[in-house]
Structure 1
Amino acid sequence: MTRPVPDPNAPPTWHQLDIPITLTALETSAHGLSAAEAAARLARHGPNVLPEQARRPGWLRFLLHFNDVLIYILLGACVVTGAMGHWVDTMVILGVAVINALIGFIQENSAEKSLQSIRDMLSSQTLALRDGKTRVVATADLVPGDVVSLRPGDKIPADLRLLQTHSLRVEEAILTGESSVVEKHIAAIPGDALLGDRRNMAFSGTTVSAGNALGIVVATAGDTELGHINRMISTVSPIQTPLLQQTKRLGQVIFIMILAMMAVLFFWGWLAHDMPFGQLLLALISLAVAAVPEGLPAVISIILSLGVQKMARSKAIIRKLPTVETLGAMTIVCSDKTGTLTMNEMTVKSVVLGDRAYTVAGESYEPVGEIREVGGQAVGGIDPATPLGLFITAVDLCNDTRLRRDSHGRWQVVGAPTAGALKVLAAKAGIQHDGAKQHGKIPFDSAYKYQATHHELNGRHYLFMIGAPDVIAARCATELHDDGQRPFAAAYWEDAMARQSEGGLRMLAAAYREIPAGFPELDHPHLEQGLVFLGFAGMMDPPRPEATEAIALCRTAGIRVKMITGDHPGTAMAIGAMMGIGNGQDVVTGQQLEALDDEALVDVADRCDIFARTSPEHKLRLVRALQRRGNVVGMTGDGVNDAPALKQADVGIAMGIKGTEVTREAADMVLADDNFATIARAVKEGRRVYDNLKKTIHFILPTNLGQGLLVVVALLTGAVIPLTPLQILWMNMATSTTLSFGLAFEPAEPGLMHRRPRDPARSILDGYAIWRVALVGTLLAASAFILESQLLALGKDTDFVRTVLLQTLVATQWVYMFNCRIQDRFSLDLAMFRSKGLWLATGVLAALQLAIVHLPFMNDIFGTTPLPFLYWLLSLKIALLIFAVIELEKWITRQIRARRRP
């Protein structure tokens, strides 16, 4: 029965169609298009370039950073002071708002380049058949129906339905997560095969590892699988980090409270005290400036930037500042397998022969590692005439790969990874075959699953064959032992391979036959009989040793690790068992995920830890499902197939060495050493940063409350406002920012990685924090009013009183900074003398206060006056008294909590 021609608007099903039907559907032939037809289709379909997403202009992105409720208050204050002619106040307040907007604008500009990176993945030129001749064509000019020629090393320029293949193998790990190269063929594939199983297709952006082929273009630009990922990335909405969510809620609460107080105080001052309108407005502006934590955005950015620098020294490159603290709240890490948890370098782990079995050490392509007999000692000086020597000779000579070092000194395999693993095995054994001559070759092809060569070695001629164990075994009647040849023992080999397979190993067997010197040109019939089975090698993409330790550390910190891979279920399950992920049995495949709706997926995503044969869509759905359960999700990966999920995740983590540029640009964090263990170190640093942010917010808000209370009480009593708006701004920006910088350097608290991840929904201001803010704010305001009343009773003028109050409040903030170092214990310890941040902040603050109090031009701007040394000491005494009260409150709180514990 004839299969239907596909609807061009329907999802691609090209892998299901025979070649003649494909050619008919695309109205083309195996000889390609004519130049005129190609030009017409180019006009109809557009260039083979991934579409760009429109970006807002820079000026608009800058203005959007003023879209904050607290900034609205400052901008309103600017308008009022400007209308009243207080231009110095206006310019200073406006300057604060602009600085905050600039900080956000600079952070934003350092971020998103993912779509441009994907476009750069496409090669600029390709070979296509036009008018029946092979021509060099710009990749952008390819259209559906073009016939493209592929050669080793080519980057595939569009999605192709393969027409002809000759030993074609394609590296698709960046797209599908498949850890080994994929062997391609041209036969139609029935059913809805997953992306990694469409062996008759070649996809845009992947690379030809070996062989040659012709393929017909079935999709270009945004219609390719790469284009599909491009659309997924562009439609993923940015995730707001827990810190940004909490500070936004905090800002909204402060905004509502300020507006309410200003409204009440306006009518109170106007009606109860008959204050002049201008004086009342200035008083309300003082309240707004006092209550708004203007310095908070700058302080948060400074602390996060310091965390970024420290993480960079630990090989974790942070691309977006808020990611630093999000790491501390992370509850789940979803990790790709190939290249992330594993080396992405196939490695021979065992060799099984007729008499003996060997283990092979080493975790990468580096040709270093012992070959040790199972139950025996390491072997050295291997005799090429022994069964082990003959096996290594066969896999070394019947091999098209090369082993080399790149410009960075890292070992690489040029060719198929599985064959490369055998080449590394030969290098570890130290057997040289420099004098070998090749007289014939049958290259590997997935149709027959073997490769064979005719070699002359030391004057003797051999036929060597490597390939799938079942294919090789079917051609062998005997096997090689130490004492010579014996009949082939099928049961022994089946049992041995079953044991290796349980360990997640892939197997490749070898056989040989000695042949006469005048042997004819090598052909397939020569391989049908008379071969001697040598044995097989078991190989795998090994787990990273440091990753296994990091997974254990993540569990200790209350973080679950889930594996989401495009590889086969058996391989994923074996790697998971080695690394302590999952229960070793519960593996969910991509096909099973396809059958689940979004509600059912939430339960499966939460319950299971290993997912295999997944597509980019599956990874994206899994991350979203986990987020629906309230998890803060980290996603690691190195391929293009990981990019949408990385962007959706709360923390996208890319591999820096082996990761693609697309993945790195979509990520929030890049591991410069491709080391999963770096994630655990980054989590610890993220938790330290969050603790210091919390200490800083607990430090800043009481000072704002104290300043606000000064204005509120003055308005309620009809008294003169104790401080001017400029003096309050000075305290908020110069003083608070400086002292908060000191808290940014506080070290991690003991037991940090034994705590459960914090609840991202929990407010950064819990009940106890609110109590502390109220207590300290009240103490600051009360001490200032008492001091003000005494100074006024002594007949001091307004400028002098305000300067003393300013100095006293600054001194109490400095001392309170030491209170905030440790939230629930006595704050003074030996560690504080080693904290450079504390004393640097102290020095800078002292210089600033000397300037505002004693420099004449600063006196003129801020309305201050020089103070005698006696009043500096008075300010310090008041500050130390408040320090003692806070430490007493800590001690009482500890006693109450201790009694409540069961």
Structure 2
Amino acid sequence: MDSMQPNTQDHPNQWYRKSAEQAMADLQTSTSGLAPEEAAARLLRVGTNALPAKAVDPVWLRFARHFNDVLIYILLAAAAATALMGHWTDTVVILSVAVINAAIGFFQENKAEKSLAALRGMLSSHAQVVRNGNKMKIDARELVPGDIVILRPGDKIPADVRLYEAHHLQVEESMLTGESMTVDKQVEVIDQEVLLADRLNLAFSGTSVSAGNAKGVVVETGVSTELGKINRMIATVDESRTPLLRQIDQMGKRIFQLIVGMMLVLFVIGFFLHDYPFGELLLSLISLAVAAVPEGLPAIVSMILSIGVQRMATNKAIIRKLPTVETLGAMSVICSDKTGTLTMNEMTVRSVLTADTSFNVEGQSYEPKGRITLAGGTAPINWADHPNLAAFIRAVDTCNDSSVQRDDSGRWGVVGGPTEGALKVLARKAELPAQEVKRLGKIPFDSSYKYMARRCDVGDENLIYLKGAPDVLLGMCEQQLGKDGIQPLDRDYWEREMGHIASQGLRMLAAAYRPVPGADSEIDHPDVQQGMIFLGIAGLMDPPRPEAIEAISMCRQAGIQVKMITGDHPDTAVAIAGMLGMGTDLRAMTGHELEAIDDSELKSRAMQYSVFARTSPEHKLRLVRALQANDQVVGMTGDGVNDAPALKQADVGIAMGIKGTEVTKEAADMVLTDDNFSTIAGAVREGRRVYDNLKKTVLFVLPTSMAQGLIIVIAILAGMVVPLSPLQVLWMNMATATTLSFGLAFEPGESGMMRRKPRDVHESILGGFTLWRVIFVGILLTAAAFSVDTWMLANNADTNHIRTMVLHTLVISQWAYLFNCRLQEEFSLNAAMLRNGALLAVTLALILLQCLVLYVPFMQSAFDTQPLPFSNWLVAIGIGALVFLAVELEKWVIRKWKARRGR
């Protein structure tokens, strides 16, 4: 065999549109399989049946990347300059600060890319094949196109396979298609283009056999499989920086430009106009660089995000990447899977239709608890008035292979298919008197004929019960059972009512029966083809989670759009969306419609539709990108491998912790341990609280950096001795600022937080108000420092004493300003302050740290400080109180100005 490339000119790579014989001919193979030599030759040409590994950067390189920040560059330059000047203590401390920041980033953020490794782990390790007519078990990596594989229950399918024999084959494909139900496979050609979920004559790599047996020819291996396509999509998705990190990067660049410009100007002024000695001037400029850099900010941000992570974990949301906490607060669109996230993932019978009456069934889960009432009524039915309903329930209960059980935790569940399980639950709810039933022969369900039949002895009668698709069973029946007995079949009635049931998004399952003369135990298809008596139709659905309805309402109130993206039928998806309160006049865009439009049109349509049905992995990825093109911050939920590319592309990828695959969890930013949409709404609330506190922290840290920079600039311009040394600046920035910021991290969320719209991610964290506050407070602190400096110079204090007092005054003033930052515009001292115990903790920690730097000898030596008398503490506290009152007065003026402007 010289070639194995398939002839796919008519339908390239669309194996489902080819007959099995044509596929084998194209692949130059047969049902006897390949010769071992040919298989080995093909393996050399096409490569192993495996997904490629992605190179992982070494640990040292990932650690080094955390130094790639313009603010850290300034610190490293300052360290190099102090080393050249022989100030080794300064060098060691500055370098330590840089290393500490890098370590926090390295250990707190998970940068390792594990998604592709998890995907590779989903491939089957072995395969049962036929080669040269002999069955053998081989390593699945050695499979090649043209191999014949044998599939049995429990097998993980090792490659993409075109089936040519299938005996009651059911495959679990939800990890690829998003469909919650097992798929019944067949072997016939599908002579039209269909989506992945409808390619019933193909079996896909990574999915698993739930029931039945099959044989097929391998058509794609490794990277060419559907799983391989998803692998490629994940590999090509670039992780984006979160809004906050982008803003902090931008802020860092601006600070860098400002510092470099100021240092050049001050060097010229100090050296040429004031005749500063070069070494002293250089040390002052290093002090300026260290002072103006808010080097504690990265550590503070990581700390606040970590606290948010811990709080979310207690509320069943596990955050895998720290910046996700902040992004949650900016999320403007949530794209959610339907099954299990918005719904219970438990099929439930909601209604039963008989020949003359419609019934409602209460209950939301597999727990066999709920009344059966007349449609529109509330009272339980009188079973004596509805013998045909009782007959329907006995039929679906007897013609059934599932069971309902309660586990050790008290949770009810189903053993068997979810649809059959729902019918068992219906029978338990009915509480009909027990009958003696002896089950005999059975025709198992198969998608080719769409029904299941059971022959049984019920008391003295020999009956055949039939259950399956309503349209199929109606063709087998000429009569129906009414409450007054057997009647001629009214097909128009049933078809009209079926349309009504379908419009509610319910799946339908019908039942029929007929008495059989004699006592034969066998049953075959001719026994059910005619003469059956139609009993009724059950309407089933996976009901919405009650808490999801409340959560969606909360999201809409907060200005967040919720979009359902599902592999389910459009009618079902729209009906569920209506029950969830996702809007009025809902329509679904299908995968076919989505494929027919280009990206520019999809950008518009993506904002118009709330429901997307029959979607594939490519569709989900395109939808996320289209929403992001509309400047939306997108959250995407998912549980299957098919969701992984979209989860990675989304600003917040949200995986299901219970039913989610490892691939999905590794690609996601957040994992829900309860698979519940309401947990997302709670996480958004926490994300908004965290962002508010981050903004308060920036508002707290930057004025101090500005004040320190101004102090040095003014001192150089005036030809004075700089009132702070580089190490004292570092102490204030790292030890005290970081400690005090901890108090803001625990601030509770402000009232009305979930009634405001998502913030504009393009709006700078240093907006007009923030910039004004930074300048105002920076000038206040600078004035406080020079007031102390002037007062102590007048009292003939030495340089180290003056610097110690300036440092202490700035630290105390910063502590006072901490309370101003609790609320941006309101008066800060309120009852809510008492709920934040961290404020007391940081106050005590600050006192301890200041005592260490002022009164412990080795700290005095390292930071050039002197012990201060109690009177100096009183002076510093008094100045801090003045700073607090000045900021509160500024808040009052702004409130009044805004109130007049509003009127």
Q: Say yes or no: TM over 0.5.
A: yes
- The 2-side partners of 1:830 and 1:107 are apart by 34
Q: Partner of 1:464: helix, strand, or coil?
A: strand
- The 1-side partners of 2:118 and 2:851 are apart by 52
- TM-aligned CA deviation for residue 596 of structure 1: 1.2
- TM-aligned CA deviation for residue 364 of structure 1: 2.6
Structure 2 partner of 1:817:
818
- TM-aligned CA deviation for residue 356 of structure 1: 2.9
Structure 1 partner of 2:331:
330
Is residue 397 of structure 2 the alignment partner of residue 396 of structure 1? yes
- TM-aligned CA deviation for residue 357 of structure 1: 2.4
After TM superposition, the score normalised by the length of structure 2 is 0.97
- The 2-side partners of 1:259 and 1:407 are apart by 67
Q: Is the 8 A contact 2:467 2:511 kept in 1?
A: yes
Matches within 5 A, 1:394-793: 394-405=395-406, 410-430=411-431, 436-519=437-520, 521-793=522-794
Is residue 140 of structure 2 the alignment partner of residue 147 of structure 1? no
- Aligned-residue Cα RMSD (Å) equals 2.0
Structure 1 partner of 2:800:
799
Structure 1 partner of 2:191:
190
Q: Is the 8 A contact 1:210 1:416 kept in 2?
A: no
Structure 1 partner of 2:341:
340
- TM-aligned CA deviation for residue 11 of structure 1: 5.2
- The 2-side partners of 1:708 and 1:245 are apart by 24
Q: Is the 8 A contact 1:181 1:417 kept in 2?
A: no
Q: Partner of 1:631: helix, strand, or coil?
A: coil
- TM-aligned CA deviation for residue 439 of structure 1: 2.1
When residues 657 and 409 of structure 1 are mapped into structure 2, their CA distance, relative to the original with a 3 A threshold, is farther
Q: Is the 8 A contact 1:331 1:631 kept in 2?
A: yes
Q: Partner of 1:123: helix, strand, or coil?
A: coil
AA matched with 1:165: A
AA matched with 1:227: G
Q: Partner of 2:116: helix, strand, or coil?
A: helix
- The 2-side partners of 1:8 and 1:738 are apart by 69
- TM-aligned CA deviation for residue 76 of structure 1: 0.2
In structure 2, the gaps of 5 or more residues are none
Q: Partner of 1:338: helix, strand, or coil?
A: coil
- The 2-side partners of 1:383 and 1:168 are apart by 42
Q: Does 290-299 or 304-313 show the bigger shift?
A: 304-313
Q: Partner of 2:341: helix, strand, or coil?
A: helix
Structure 2 partner of 1:367:
368
Structure 2 partner of 1:265:
266
Structure 2 partner of 1:53:
54
AA matched with 1:199: L
- TM-aligned CA deviation for residue 376 of structure 1: 4.4
Q: Does 700-709 or 197-206 show the bigger shift?
A: 197-206
Q: Is the 8 A contact 1:48 1:221 kept in 2?
A: yes
Structure 2 partner of 1:112:
113
AA matched with 1:19: A
Q: Is the 8 A contact 2:586 2:611 kept in 1?
A: no
AA matched with 1:391: F
Q: Partner of 1:109: helix, strand, or coil?
A: coil
- The 2-side partners of 1:544 and 1:316 are apart by 18
AA matched with 1:309: Q
Deviations along 1:174-204, one digit per CA (max 9) or x if unpaired, are 2112232222211111232111111111111
Q: Is the 8 A contact 1:359 1:373 kept in 2?
A: yes
Q: Is the 8 A contact 1:143 1:217 kept in 2?
A: yes
- TM-aligned CA deviation for residue 672 of structure 1: 1.1
Q: Is the 8 A contact 2:466 2:511 kept in 1?
A: yes
- TM-aligned CA deviation for residue 134 of structure 1: 2.8
- TM-aligned CA deviation for residue 523 of structure 1: 1.3
Q: Is the 8 A contact 1:26 1:144 kept in 2?
A: yes
- The 1-side partners of 2:839 and 2:246 are apart by 29
Q: Is the 8 A contact 2:435 2:459 kept in 1?
A: no
- The 2-side partners of 1:126 and 1:494 are apart by 46
Is residue 886 of structure 2 the alignment partner of residue 885 of structure 1? yes
Q: Is the 8 A contact 1:573 1:584 kept in 2?
A: no
When residues 315 and 432 of structure 1 are mapped into structure 2, their CA distance, relative to the original with a 3 A threshold, is farther
AA matched with 2:729: I
Deviations along 1:419-471, one digit per CA (max 9) or x if unpaired, are 23222322333458795333211111222111111112334321111111111
When residues 206 and 408 of structure 1 are mapped into structure 2, their CA distance, relative to the original with a 3 A threshold, is farther
Q: Partner of 1:337: helix, strand, or coil?
A: coil
How many percent identity over aligned positions? 59
Structure 2 partner of 1:834:
835
- TM-aligned CA deviation for residue 207 of structure 1: 2.3
Q: Partner of 1:465: helix, strand, or coil?
A: strand
Q: Partner of 1:840: helix, strand, or coil?
A: helix
Q: Is the 8 A contact 1:185 1:446 kept in 2?
A: yes
Deviations along 1:835-855, one digit per CA (max 9) or x if unpaired, are 111111101111000111011
- TM-aligned CA deviation for residue 326 of structure 1: 0.7
Q: Partner of 1:454: helix, strand, or coil?
A: strand
- The 1-side partners of 2:191 and 2:404 are apart by 38
- The 2-side partners of 1:122 and 1:402 are apart by 31
- TM-aligned CA deviation for residue 643 of structure 1: 1.1
After TM superposition, the score normalised by the length of structure 1 is 0.97
Q: Partner of 1:463: helix, strand, or coil?
A: strand
- The 2-side partners of 1:246 and 1:551 are apart by 30
AA matched with 1:615: S
Structure 2 partner of 1:42:
43
Q: Is the 8 A contact 1:339 1:638 kept in 2?
A: no
Structure 1 partner of 2:130:
129
Is residue 37 of structure 2 the alignment partner of residue 12 of structure 1? no
- The 2-side partners of 1:420 and 1:206 are apart by 23
Structure 2 partner of 1:285:
286
When residues 382 and 21 of structure 1 are mapped into structure 2, their CA distance, relative to the original with a 3 A threshold, is same
AA matched with 1:180: M
In structure 1, the gaps of 5 or more residues are none
When residues 226 and 378 of structure 1 are mapped into structure 2, their CA distance, relative to the original with a 3 A threshold, is farther
- The 2-side partners of 1:558 and 1:418 are apart by 37
Q: Does 844-853 or 179-188 show the bigger shift?
A: 179-188
- The 2-side partners of 1:623 and 1:699 are apart by 36
When residues 374 and 132 of structure 1 are mapped into structure 2, their CA distance, relative to the original with a 3 A threshold, is same
Q: Partner of 2:210: helix, strand, or coil?
A: strand
- TM-aligned CA deviation for residue 482 of structure 1: 2.5
- The 1-side partners of 2:11 and 2:731 are apart by 64
AA matched with 1:325: E
Q: Is the 8 A contact 1:581 1:610 kept in 2?
A: no
AA matched with 2:835: R
- TM-aligned CA deviation for residue 694 of structure 1: 0.4
Q: Does 494-503 or 371-380 show the bigger shift?
A: 371-380
Q: Is the 8 A contact 1:383 1:389 kept in 2?
A: no
Deviations along 1:489-530, one digit per CA (max 9) or x if unpaired, are 212212221111110111111011112343363111111222
Structure 2 partner of 1:62:
63
Q: Partner of 2:339: helix, strand, or coil?
A: helix
Aligned length: 899
Q: Is the 8 A contact 2:108 2:302 kept in 1?
A: no
When residues 169 and 584 of structure 1 are mapped into structure 2, their CA distance, relative to the original with a 3 A threshold, is farther
Structure 2 partner of 1:855:
856
Q: Is the 8 A contact 2:325 2:687 kept in 1?
A: yes
When residues 364 and 661 of structure 1 are mapped into structure 2, their CA distance, relative to the original with a 3 A threshold, is farther
Q: Is the 8 A contact 1:340 1:638 kept in 2?
A: no
Q: Is the 8 A contact 2:510 2:538 kept in 1?
A: yes
- The 2-side partners of 1:642 and 1:170 are apart by 19
- The 1-side partners of 2:188 and 2:678 are apart by 44
- TM-aligned CA deviation for residue 293 of structure 1: 0.2
- The 1-side partners of 2:435 and 2:493 are apart by 35
- The 1-side partners of 2:132 and 2:712 are apart by 85
Q: Does 884-893 or 178-187 show the bigger shift?
A: 178-187
- TM-aligned CA deviation for residue 580 of structure 1: 2.4
Q: Does 749-758 or 476-485 show the bigger shift?
A: 476-485
When residues 695 and 418 of structure 1 are mapped into structure 2, their CA distance, relative to the original with a 3 A threshold, is same
- TM-aligned CA deviation for residue 301 of structure 1: 0.6
- The 1-side partners of 2:692 and 2:355 are apart by 61
Matches within 5 A, 1:349-388: 349-376=350-377, 379=380, 386-388=387-389
Q: Partner of 1:288: helix, strand, or coil?
A: helix
Q: Partner of 1:529: helix, strand, or coil?
A: coil
- TM-aligned CA deviation for residue 650 of structure 1: 0.5
Structure 2 partner of 1:222:
223
